[in-house]
Structure 1
């Protein structure tokens, strides 16, 4: 069964429906799924992602990797990041989602989108929404508890937004060194420059990463780019 619109547009439609009807987002998503001919959102989402599941992306990531996860707004990069966290926790490993963009309720709401409500109370799942998030903060946070297998940072371009934080290159180098020492996998959700929408490319690439401040992208090992339901995973270098 073909969807009437890309999944990111259906999600946007569900958010508007939830706001308009004052119902929980997961109910709005299920209503949209029924309009598309599915019993619930989980089944619709499974169909949309059947060609590339987060588990497959996790299998592409090795101990100590630094990966970029990039897309334009509304194309699923945050959801994919949370799915990576969820799949890591489901496998019995610890995972932390650091976000400078969402509050905790928003992040948990997005986990509910793909039917993983039981993970919300799992001790291996941690969501950190501190305004102090930076490389130093992340490293100290990790050291304060059990070492996670996967850390997702939402998002790259906000890490050095505070003038008191080190520049972005210094922070990424620090996290790269820490990943090498500990084996923690870091995934950085990243913005894509608006100019991509004027190009004829189907999927963004490294040249489309929005960089308000200088950053050597070869510090990363892997890249994953999303657009209109398409996905491209590559090694860097």
Structure 2
């Protein structure tokens, strides 16, 4: 992905456009994004955050880590998870994408967007779309996985959506114990509460995670938060 100018200059261009043509800023931002080949500004900013963060993330993770990746919709959290998996495969590791949100075809389409249309590393990615995905299912699937294997779970808040599954807190505790025991790296895509206000703080944090069911956020060892082309990586424990 190569933009015609840095993102701060693109924002400045949009502000001038909004002022000169008397249109809302979000309309001007979307118009600038289309000139760069994106359908809307949110997609452009998500790709910027993903590219800048994923290139360094894998090297900052250790075997047994529990990673939380949080953002509002359209700000790149799923793309970041997929890019992390592609980087893991490039590093000679096993990469697994557990998703309760996307089909296999939709996942491949997103991978192609990251790889510029080529199949490349994405052909080695394991994509799991079973409706039975939960902690027990994930641990069973990864039972023979080597230390350093990276698995992304999409997404945290729906692991217990089926009433026959254990509570979310119980599942995350089990997965933390599993990660520590096996050396697998487990990364969770997470929603951010709608009450998050970017005017108050530029990036969400652990307090903004949407948790309809209580979970001890201390079970996660690392976190990455994204918003509007910005990203922050944190070590929690």
Fold match by TM threshold 0.5: yes
Offset of residue 53 of structure 1: 3.8
Q: Following TM superposition, by how much is the alpha carbon of 1:51 offset from its aligned partner in structure 2, in angstroms? A: 7.9
Q: Deviations over 1:155-201 (max 9, x none)?
A: 00000111100111110111111111110000000000000036511
Conserved? CA contact 2:204–2:227, under 8 Å? yes
Paired residues in the alignment total 206
Q: Write the mapping of 1:1-237 to structure 2, written as runs, cut at 5 A.
A: 1-3=5-7, 4=10, 35-36=35-36, 48=48, 52-115=52-115, 117-122=119-124, 125-143=125-143, 149-197=149-197, 200-237=200-237
Residue aligning to 1:19: none
Q: CA deviation at 1:71?
A: 0.0
Q: What do residues 33-67 of structure 1 show as CA deviations (whole Å, max 9, x unaligned)? A: 8x339xxxxxx99x935983413111111110001
Per-residue deviation, residues 3-23 of structure 1 (Å, max 9, x unmatched): 5469xx9xxx7xxxxxxxxxx
Instruction: Provide closer, same or farther for how the CA distance between residues 186 and 109 of structure 1 changes in structure 2, counting only shifts above 3 A.
Output: same
Give 1:91 deviation, angstroms: 1.3
TM-score, length-normalised on structure 2? 0.78
Aligned-pair RMSD on alpha carbons?
2.8
> TM-score under structure 1 normalisation?
0.78
2-structure distance, mates of 1:205, 1:139: 28
> Which of structure 1's runs of 4+ aligned residues deviate more than 3 A?
2-6, 47-51, 144-148
Residues 97-123 of structure 1 deviation map (CA, whole Å, 9 limit, x = unaligned): 00001111111110001115222322x
Residues of 2 paired with 1:209 and 1:57: CA distance? 20
**Which runs of 5 or more residues in structure 2 are unaligned?**
13-25, 38-43
> How far, CA to CA, are the matches of 1:196 and 1:81 in structure 2?
21
Q: Check whether the contact 2:53–2:231 (CA below 8 A) recurs between aligned residues.
A: no
CA apart distance, 1:225 = 0.2
Unaligned runs of 5+ in 1: 14-31, 38-43
